[in-house]
Structure formats: structure tokens, C-alpha cells
Chain A
Amino acid sequence: MIHSLFLINCSGDIFLEKHWKSVVSQSVCDYFFEAQEKAVDVENVPPVIPTPHHYLISIYRDKIFFVSVIQTEVPPLFVIEFLHRVADTFQDYFGECSETAIKDNVVIVYELLEEMLDNGFPLATESNILKELIKPPTILRSVVNSITGSSNVGDTLPTGQLSNIPWRRAGVKYTNNEAYFDVIEEIDAIIDKSGSTVFAEIQGVIDSCIKLSGMPDLSLSFMNPRLLDDVSFHPCIRFKRWESERVLSFIPPDGNFRLISYRVSSQNLVAIPVYVKHMISFKENSSSGRFDVTIGPKQNMGKTVEGVVMTVHMPKAVLNMNLTSTQGTYTFDPVTKVLTWDVGKITPQKLPNLKGIVNLQSGAPKPEENPSLNIQFKIQQLAISGLKVNRLDMYGEKYKPFKGVKYITKAGKFQVRT
């Protein structure tokens, strides 16, 4: 399926190549560069590019293009999903998926790629199995290795791949047994000029960090499971149990993993935790405009809205902005025309405001449209959908684990039209 992989940085250098079948020349990437040039910005490079003899399927992650070379029909999502899994694995192993990290760990990268695909078909993609095959680097280990000459390659061969629970490694042992669940919800919304909601929905995930010895069998139940309209599962979850009882029953992988992703039924009204008052105007036949934005919390929340950041792509005609903020700091990049206002925490008594003058290129026509405001925020200890974990039970092991659930609500793609 996947013939070769090229990693390309933003300046167009191919800094890694790997072939699972015969070697394909680097020159195939020229077609990619051509498409990249045409697309103007990285976001618009088409993920699938046909060339005379191959097809290129690529993803863009962390300032790196992962360009795979395909020769025959294959579901494009298969390749895309796999490439993201590769990037996830790098992230997991090296703490970041960057050109430097990949170059510094080129041998581990190669060993990983070798295990993840055989003849272009995925072989081992579970992080638990890979970590048994190839140990992730640590500073201590690389020092020890260089002295003793021992290696990063596991000398015990993984049993997980052969078992009926391939996602969990065998022989897990902890002195402190802990299970943490983060319920993270993101609000995607489009708010129109007048402040009413055009579209809003909640997308949630439960990310888990499980450090439990042996073979724990967990059951996680919710107070209000019916809220979850559409759910996708980690393979460890017993689907039938969810179907019949709405309980998440599973033998977890060891370490960090995403247990479920879900969408909250669009029938439910989504509470929008912030409001934005805005006055942005450009005068006809004048080289200036006014900008005045206030962000406030909606009363009914009772929790603090923090980590508030506003980004605005100003129209091309904007030369500069002279603003004053009552709180936080703002920057305006005259090249990209991006205004960023880092607000921080909102205190209801004194609402953050940013206002001032917009300088336009003289002679240029008045901008057609006011820009949209993209808002980020965070609310701790709250799942905006109202989802609540009821209890976590453990079977199969005798010890008492420490259990914890954390809730957090964030802005997803949250956009205010002005």
C-alpha cells in the first residue's frame, strides 16, 4: 500500500526518507512542491496529488509534511489515518514531533517505521506494543547505553501482539496504582453579528492516564450517558456492553490514551459561556477605522473563564492598529494582518476591553467585510454538556487504585462574526 515516505520541512528540505518496497527517487517530491507552490499557504496543499506514475498522499503536522508515495488504489483515509498515527508515535516517543527531534533520533525513527509497516501494510501501530519493541529514549538511558553499549531495542519480544488484548503490554507493575480520566469538552460555535448562535455543538473526549498493575478490568459509568449522541471508542472498549448497558467496560492499555470521543446531541441547547460586544467600522473615503471589543462571561456559569485569547485576521487594507487594552496584551502583525489579544482570566466586575484606531492604506477601498473574531478560552472543573462520571469499578485485581476525574471545557472552533 504505502510505498515510501518523505518528511519535508517548511523550507522544502527532504530531511528523511524511508522505502518499504523498491526505492522511489526523491524527484517524485517535485510534484508535491509544485502543488505546494500553487496552494499559496500550507493549509491548502491538497492531501492527494496524482503524478504520472504515483499518487502522493500527505498530511501536514507540526510544521512537517509527511508525504507518502502510493502506486495503486487505496482508501486515502487509510493512508492519512496511518500517517497521523506515525506523527502521534513520534510525539509520544520524543515529546514533540519536530524536525530536530526526528533528526536527533533518526535510528529510533527508522526502527519504528520498520515495525509500523511491512511491505507498506500496517503491522504494529499500538503504542504499548511498539514500546516493548523499541524503548523510547531518555537522557539517562542514552548515557548508560553509550557507556555499556546496551541498546534501545527491547530484548524481550512483545507478547502483546500475540495476545487477545494487543493494546496492553504484559507484566505491568506499579507501586502506586492510579487511574485518571480527563473529560475535555470543546465548544464549536458560530455566533452572528447580533450575538445569536448560528451553530453550536459540543465535541468531547475522555483522555485517560492509567497506571495500574496486572490485568485490571475497568467499568466506567456515567450519571447521564444518554447525553452522548455519537461515540467512537478505543478498541479496548467492549462495544456490546455499551450498547446494552451504557457502561464503558475495558481492559485499558498502559499509560496515556484516548478512551472515547463523543459528540453531544445537537438537539440539546449548547450553553455559550462568553459573549462578545464589538464595534468595528471603517469609514468611507477615510484612511482609518474604529475597533472596540469587550469580552464578558455569561452569568449562569459560576466558574471562571480563563486562558482567553482572541485572534482576528484583519482585512488586507489594514496597515496598523493603535489600540489600548484594559487587560492583557495585544500584538498586531502588519505582514500577516493578524491581531492577537491575550486576555487571560475574565473577572465579571471589570470586563476586558480592547479599543482604538485602525489605520488603513490610503486610497484603498473600504474593506467589504468586518473580520471574524476567533476566541479561545478554558473553564476548569466543568463539562459544559453536564456530563458526569458516576463511578469507576475495577475487577480482576486486588489492590485499591487511586482514581481521579477532571473536567475541562474549552473553546473549539469558536467564531464570532462581526
Chain B
Amino acid sequence: GKNEDLKQMLESSKDSSKLDAMKRIVGMIAKGKNASELFPAVVKNVASKNIEIKKLVYVYLMRYAEEQQDLALLSISTFQRALKDPNQLIRASALRVLSSIRVPIIVPIMMLAIKEASSDLSPYVRKNAAHAIQKLYSLDPEQKEMLIEVIEKLLKDRSTLVAGSVVMAFEEVCPDRIDLIHKNYRKLCTLLVDVEEWGQVVIIHMLTRYARTQFVSPWKKDVVEEYNENNFYESDDEQKEKDQKVKKTYVMDPDHRLLLRNTKPLLQSRNAAVVMAVAQLYWHLAPKSEAGIVSKSLVRLLHSNREVQYIVLQNIATMSIQRKGMFEPYLKSFYVRSTDPTMIKTLKLEILTNLANEANISTLLREFQTYVKSQDKQFAAATIQAIGRCATNITEVTDTCLNGLVCLLSNRDEIVVAESVVVIKKLLQTQPAHHGEIIKHMAKLLDNITVPVARASILWLIGEYCERVPKIAPDVLRKTAKSFTNEDDLVKLQILNLGAKLYLTNSKQTKLLTQYVLNLGKYDQSYDIRDRTRFIRQLIVPNEKSGALSKYAKKIFLAQKPAPLLESPFKARDHFQLGTLSHTLNSKATGYLELSDWPEVAPDPALRNVEAAEVVGRHRWNVEGSTSQVHIFGFQVSRKIFYVFYSDSEDSKKKAKGITKKRNMSSSSDSEASSSEESSSDSKSESDLQSDSQSGKPGRAASKEKKKKKKEEKKKKNGKGLAAHYHFSRQPCIFGERMVSVQVTVTNTTDQKIENIHIGEMKLPAGMRMHGFNPIESLEPEGSITVSMGIDFCDSTQTATFQLCTNEDHFNVSIQPPVGELLLPVTMSEKDFKKEQGMLTGMNEASATIAVAPQNSSSPVIIERVVKAANLGVVPSGQDNIHRFAAKTVHSGSLMLVTVELKESSTAQLIINTEKTVIGSVLLRELKPVLSQG
């Protein structure tokens, strides 16, 4: 074959020549040349140790596997092996390539791989699993039901990495399964700001559709809340009636509000697609009074490249028809430059026309005058249309516009004149009475105008209003009868019309002329003309055959005709969801998902409630900004101690309650940490506070303090309060390698600004270090902010104490880490684990036999519970009854190996191997209840 040299290079023992060959092959693929005959030679290198060769082989495989299915199967085992690799990135890329090989025979293998990957502890692997779902679905749609199960599972995922990808899969595979979204709705809203930009677009579009099925319309009454002042003189009955009325007024579902609130910051995205997605969301979901906030951002996008401008302008065009007010303040941003491409110019003109009103029309008409003179004649013609539309829509300027257009009739450019004639014709139809002069003027133009549409328009006008120009009309017919045979079909039809109308109104002068024209028409080449001629003759010239109709000929021909509506061509687009391809094309694109109408009655909002344990996961800091993701290896981790400094009024007490409700596990390992605590209800939270204040645990002193202050300040009208909670984010700390990353959320529960929140004096045991957060200059009432800090606990559970200061006061805060938070997960293979474990025996080993509650004995539960309790990485295990976990301590990097071996009769052996024997034994103690309790 012709690629003999490449084959030889691929057979070579040297990586460099293999690599050269692969590069040349990729070059061929890029140019669209066929390289399929090299398949056997290439596929042999799929397991190459050289990472670049391997990657290029992958590129080749994805391109040709479909065509060479049998040979492609040779590579599958390599990927299956890699799916088990301890390195998450290798697992992910294996899944990516495996799922991109479109060979139907491997569908079961893909399905299995996707299922496994969807439970992988690495969110990156799970993200790739979500991508693979769509690939498998397009390869074999029969897998749909199984894939939906995977989607359902991944929708529950809390990682921001996964969210966009799984929603994408949802949209492609089962967009109608709205029920899968309910329980994940609030989470998606909360995660949204932290999702990568492409995922944001997909999620926002999906949530728009979702919201339109679940909430009632906010448009019926734009009053959100209406407070009912007690009227002293009203009787009780009247009052009741009024109350009922108030109840009927619209109140927005808090979940609806949540979506609007959490998408708003994304208007500031650098990505035009994200900005547009939020804009369309507000358009389709927000109360009309709020939709205006998107205008500014959309106008900002007009500074971008022409493609972005084009799409954004199209959408603004649709919006500006319905709600002028939104864009009126930005009128001048739509002014046209001579350097704009025509398609941009026309869109801007469209918007300017939509925005025209009594107040701005004179400015606009002045601007339009510049455009009419444009060298770009297509655009000049569009401007004339626009002037016509302004003239019909705003009656104050109809005459001005008409006069302007008449002036244009003497323009040198034929296109301009023709367009003006057509528009004038339409305008005159709306008020023919006053305009005999203009019609005369136009009749004179007929000698010079050659554009058929314009000639036809003039002839129609003269015919229609022939009684207003009785002298001119027959003369025009005479002239055009002469030129009939050389006219365009369009013009011929109008000559016939003119003849017919004159015959009926002024037969004395025009009878012969009309008959002459009808004779010409009878033998015309075009059958349309011949048909029309026959039809007209039958109607207007009475004979025995013509029936009753000819009596009504005058009524038929000279009936008053409705004036044409001059409408925006964008009017019809508004039934497409904005921002979509279908909207741009103005026709339904394949796969377009219809936006439903608001329901009359909203489905039960409780559908979106999540079981308490999950609610707890919705922490405020999820929305804080990009640095605050709290997901590592798929488990929501949150341990925090709650302290309120002082508060007094009823109001702030309620707020304090709200915060207590969000409590997850307390940091201590005593019975309070049980999961029943997680579901603490409103009624219980008060007692929580009580017990908090009685216990001497770190962080609780503050509650005590709160109690005291509460009494002291009760007399004062305005109370103050600062709530803070912290949690361990389980991320590598950005402040230093040996530090544990701690995130603190400070909330101002007062009605006043709190200023200068910063860290004051620190009391740290010897050796410990702390990196505080940047001072918070001020915190608005109700505001909350999450800040990061780092603490080096020196691998001990000693307490770090420091002062949290505001401008006016300071408080002592103590943080004692649970031992499980002094660790960072380590990825290793089972083999390496065993090797390391072998070196950490004797003194370095601690073990215990524990009872395991029956519900805890399945693998996923054990893994979940252990990983939740301590920041450990899971080691893949070959045996079902043995689970291994590995981590290193944050400060010294010492290995911490945990083994859980299930034995008979509901017991298990718990083994910990580490040099750090002290924290090893503390960890052992803390892990025991984790598995033994139900």
C-alpha cells in the first residue's frame, strides 16, 4: 500500500519513529484524508508506555473504530484495565475513550463501566461518566431506562464538577422526567455559581423549563406583597373580606425566588452564553418589574464580536417588541455605524423601530435620515420600511414621515425610490382622503421608475383611488396599455386591475382602453395573466353567460380594503424560548424543548423538600464564590460548631434558630453526634441552645455569653448579633502545606452594618500556627460572608483559640479539630497499601473488634460512614468483606491506614496502622461508634 513507510515506522522498536508516524497520521486525519488502512498497525500501540503515542492512538481510535469494529475490539481490554487504575485521571481518560468508540458490541461493557464510574469516589471520574451516558444513549437508545437510573443517581451528586455534565445528559436522554429534578432543584440552584461556565448555561436552561411547570405565573399581579394596614373604622366583617383578598394576591414561591436570586450574579459572567442564559431566564420567569435588570448586561455584550452581537441583537429585538421600557434607556447604544456589517445594521434598526415612541421619535427620525443616505442601499431600503412603521405606529408623526418619504421619491437611487413608493402606498391606505396630491405626484413618477414592485404599487394606488384623480387615471392606463407587453408580470396584473376599476367607474373614457388591455392579457405568455384576464372580463363585461356576480363587480373591486399592518418581523419569534437556536432560526430546531405555560395551580412545593439529612448539606457558603466548594470525593463534609455572640430581640432569636436548624454534626464524638441530631426540628432547636449553653464544650461558651447578653440587652430596642459557624472544607489548604483548611461563615443577624471583622489575639499551643482570614471591612445587615483560614494543628487535637473582633467588641473563639479532619486522603493501590501496612506493624498498629449494626454492613454504607467521619481516601479492594482507607496527616504527612474487615456474626475487625500512634488510637476510638450505631 501507499502508506508502507508509516506501517514500518509503527512496527519499529523506537518510540521516536512510532511517534513521528502517529503525528503524520493525525495530520492526515486532520486534513480529512483516509487513514483507515493503517488500523491494525496503529491499534497495536494502544498500550504504549509513551503517553503522547498513546494519546494519538486514542485520537485515531475514536476516528476509525466505528469503521473497523472487529479490530477495535482488540483495544478494549487495555481500557478495561485502565478503568481500575488507582489514578483518577487515568480512570477518567480510559472511560472517555472507551465510551467514544462507537462499536455496538461493547454496549454491555460500556454500561458496566458507566455504572461503576458513577459511584467512583473521584468527582472527575463521575463527570466523565455523565458524558459517557450521552454517548452510550446515542449508540444504543434501548439502554435508556438503565441510563436514567444512572442519571438519577448522578443528579444527587453534590460536586460542582458533575452538575453541568449530568444535567446535559438529562436534557439529552430524558428531558421529560421533570420528577427527577424536584429533590435536586434547591441544590442545583445553590451550586450554580460554582459550576463551570458551560455547565451553568445548560443548568439555567433546564431550570427555566422546570420552573415553568412548577410555579404559578408572577405576571398576573405584579404586587408581591401587600401589607394590610388595620383600618380603625372598618367593621370586622369588612376586615375579614379584605384579609381574604390579601390572601389571593400573588406571593412568589420561595423556590422560585431562590432561582432568580442565585442566577442574578451570573449576569456578570465573562461568558456571553451565560449572560444570555440568565437574561432569558429572567424574561421567562421573573416578575415583569424585575426583568429590566438584564438589559444593562445584554447591552454590554454589544461590545463583543459580530457573532455575539448578532445573536444578542436578535434576542433584544424580540424582547423590545413586548417590553419597550427595558431597552429605552439604551436607545443610543443601538445607533448604527457605517462600519457595522449589514446584518448588524438591520437588527439595530429593527430594535430602534421597536423602541420608537412619541418622546423619542423626532430624535430617531433625525438618525434615520442619516441611514437613508447610507451607501449600503440594502440598509437604506430597510430604513425606509422602518420609517413607514414608525409612521403607522405613532400617529403624531404620520404626516412628517409621509412628507419625508415623498422627498425621497426624487432620490437618485432607484432602490430607495422603489422602497419609498411601496411604503407610501401602504401609508396612504391608512388615510387616503388627504393625499390626492401625493398620488398625483406618484403618477408622474411612473415615467421614470423601472423597479416592478414600485410600478405595481403606483398603479394599484391610482386604480384604488381613481375617483380622486379622475383626470390622471385614464391617462396612466393609456400609457401603460402601450407598454403592457414589455412590463413585468407584477406590473401587468396591476394594469389589468387598473383597467377593471376604471371600467367600472369611468367606462365612458376607458371602455376601449380596458378592452384593449384585456385582449393583450388574453394572449399573454403567463397563464396567471391569462387566467386573471378571463376572470376580470367575466366580472366586468356583462353578457348572457355572466351570472349574478357582475352586478356586484363594483363592490368586489372597489371594496374598502383593510390597511396592511406594518409589523416587526420579530413578532412571531416570541413563542420560542429566547437564547435558543430555534429562536434564531425562527423555526423549531431538532430537539427543541417547548417551554410550557405556567400552571394554573402550582404542583405541591413539598416535592422539592429533601430529607433532613440532606437539607443540612445546603450550606450558605455554597453560594459564596468559587473558592468555597465543599466537596471532596463525593461526600458532603461539614462539621461546625455554632456560636452566637449576642442577640436579644425576638427577631434575631428566630434567626438564631434558623442557624441552629442547619446544624450538622457537632464536633464532639459523644452521643450528640448521632444522626438524629441532624434532623433537629424547629421545636428542638431551642433546647439545643439550652444544652449548648450548659455543656462546657468549645464554642459553647459563646452561647452562654449570648444568654447573658440577651438578658442585659433586652431593654434596648435594637439588638445586635453576629453568628459564625465554621467547617472543615477538606481541601488542601492554600495558606500552607501543613495547615488544615477551615472555612468560617460570618452572618450579621442585626439590622445594622457590622464593621471591621478581623482576627485579634491568637492563643495557640506551642508549635501551632494559624493563617487568619483577610479582615472583612463591613458586613451589611442580613449579610453573610465566608472566609478561609488555615490552622496548623501539628497533628494534634489541641484547641486553637483566637479572638474574633469587630469595631466595637471582641469574642473568644475556640476550634478543636476532630481527629478525622487532621487528615488528607491518599490514593493508592491495594498492593501498595499492603506493602505500607507491612512496614507499620507492632507498636504502629492499633486494632479493635466491634459490633456492626446490620444496616451498616453493606459496602457503600461502610465507605460512606467511614469517609464521612474521617477524611480518608478509599483504596480499591479485591475482597468484598475488607475495606481499606488511606490518608496522610496534614502536618507531618505520616501515613494513616485504616482497614475494616467484616467477620461473622455482625462483628468487624478495625485496624489502624500509623507512626502517629496517639492520633491513631484517637481515630480508632472515634471510628468505633460510627459503624456500631444504627
Contacts and interface: CB of A to CB of B under 8 A. Distances in A.
Contacts of A237: 625
Interface string A327-353: 000000000000000000000000000
Given A78-B273, A119-B100, A244-B778, A238 B626 contact: yes
B91 to A, nearest CB: 11
B288 to A, nearest CB: 21
A240 B589 contact: no
Given A78-B273, A109-B30, A165-B626, A73 B196 contact: no
A234 B269 CA distance: 7
Interface string A198-238: 11010100000000000101010000000001111111111
B625 A76 contact: no
- Tell me the interface secondary structure of chain A in the complex: mixed
A106 B198 contact: no
A125 B341 CA distance: 29
Interface stretch (B531-539, B575-583, B870-878): B575-583
B374 A78 contact: no
B311 A166 contact: no
A81 B271 contact: yes
B903 interface: no
B592 interface: yes
B297 A230 contact: yes
A3 to B, nearest CB: 11
B598 interface: no
Interface string A101-112: 000001101110
A401 interface: no
- Of the four ranges (under 10, 10 to 19, 20 to 34, 35 or more), the interface on chain A belongs to 35 or more
Interface in A381-418: 395-396, 412-413, 415, 417
A151 interface: yes
Interface in A56-70: 58-61, 70
Contacts of B330: 266
A309 interface: no
A22 interface: yes
A164 interface: yes
Contact of A77 (B124, B311, B332): B311
Most buried by B among A164, A165, A237: A164
A415 B311 contact: no
B296 A110 contact: no
B342 to A, nearest CB: 5
Interface in A32-71: 41, 43-44, 46-48, 50, 55, 58-61, 70-71
A335 to B, nearest CB: 16
Interface string B1-30: 000000000000011100100010011011
A114 B59 contact: yes
B715 interface: no
A251 B734 contact: yes
B375 A316 contact: yes
Interface stretch (A176-184, A275-283, A368-376): A368-376
A371 B592 CA distance: 45
Contacts of A155: 51
Contacts of B66: 22-23
A76 B205 CA distance: 13
B700 to A, nearest CB: 29
Contact of A232 (B131, B270, B783): B270
A190 interface: yes
Given A48-B585, A80-B307, A165-B626, A368 B269 contact: no
A107 B582 CA distance: 36
Interface residues of B, number: 117
Contacts of A201: 333
Interface stretch (A11-19, A91-99, A288-296, A297-305): A11-19
B50 interface: yes
A125 B197 CA distance: 10
Nearest to B266: A239
B52 A153 contact: yes
Contacts of B629: 164
Nearest to A197: B332
A164 B52 contact: no
A188 interface: yes
B333 A235 contact: no
Contact of B270 (A107, A153, A261): A261
A376 to B, nearest CB: 12
B341 A75 contact: no
B927 interface: no
Contacts of B32: 14, 17, 26
Contact of B311 (A41, A47, A50, A396): A47
Nearest to B771: A396
A341 B308 CA distance: 30
Interface string B35-57: 00000000000000011100110
A313 interface: yes
Nearest to A162: B124
A80 B308 contact: yes
A269 interface: no
Contacts of A162: 88-89, 122-124, 161
Interface string B623-642: 01111110000000000000
A163 B196 CA distance: 12
B337 A190 contact: yes
B301 to A, nearest CB: 9
Contacts of A30: none
A72 B202 CA distance: 14
A82 B198 contact: yes
B411 interface: yes
B277 interface: yes
A349 to B, nearest CB: 32
A6 to B, nearest CB: 9
A136 B193 CA distance: 31
B268 interface: yes
A22 B306 CA distance: 30
Contacts of A131: none
B589 A72 contact: yes
B138 interface: yes
B592 A73 contact: yes
Given A73-B580, A365-B412, A232 B300 contact: yes
A43 B341 contact: yes
B269 A232 contact: yes
Nearest to A110: B26
B370 interface: yes
Nearest to B90: A157
A355 interface: no
B311 A315 contact: no
Contact of B275 (A23, A149, A232): A232
17 contacts: A14-B32, A22-B102, A48-B585, A50-B585, A75-B201, A75-B277, A77-B579, A80-B311, A82-B198, A153-B52, A232-B275, A240-B785, A245-B778, A249-B774, A263-B303, A266-B332, A315-B375
Given A44-B342, A396-B771, 12 more contacts: A19-B63, A21-B138, A59-B305, A74-B581, A75-B276, A219-B774, A232-B275, A237-B625, A238-B626, A266-B330, A368-B412, A396-B735
Which 6 pairs across A and B sit closest by C-beta, in order of nearness? A72-B591, A149-B16, A151-B52, A369-B373, A43-B341, A238-B625
Interface of B: 14-16, 19, 23, 26-27, 29-32, 50-52, 55-56, 58-59, 63, 66, 87-90, 96, 99-100, 102, 122-124, 128, 131-132, 134-135, 138, 161, 165, 168, 172, 193, 196-198, 201, 205, 265, 268-273, 275-277, 296-297, 299-300, 303, 305-308, 310-312, 330, 332-333, 335, 337-339, 341-343, 367, 370, 373-375, 411-413, 579-582, 584-585, 587, 589-593, 624-629, 731-732, 734-735, 771, 774, 777-780, 783, 785
Interface of A: 1, 14-19, 21-23, 26, 41, 43-44, 46-48, 50, 55, 58-61, 70-78, 80-82, 84, 106-107, 109-111, 114, 118-119, 121-123, 125, 149, 151-153, 155, 157-158, 161-166, 188, 190, 198-199, 201, 203, 215, 217, 219, 229-241, 243-245, 247, 249, 251, 258, 261, 263, 266, 313, 315-316, 365-369, 371-372, 374, 395-396, 412-413, 415, 417
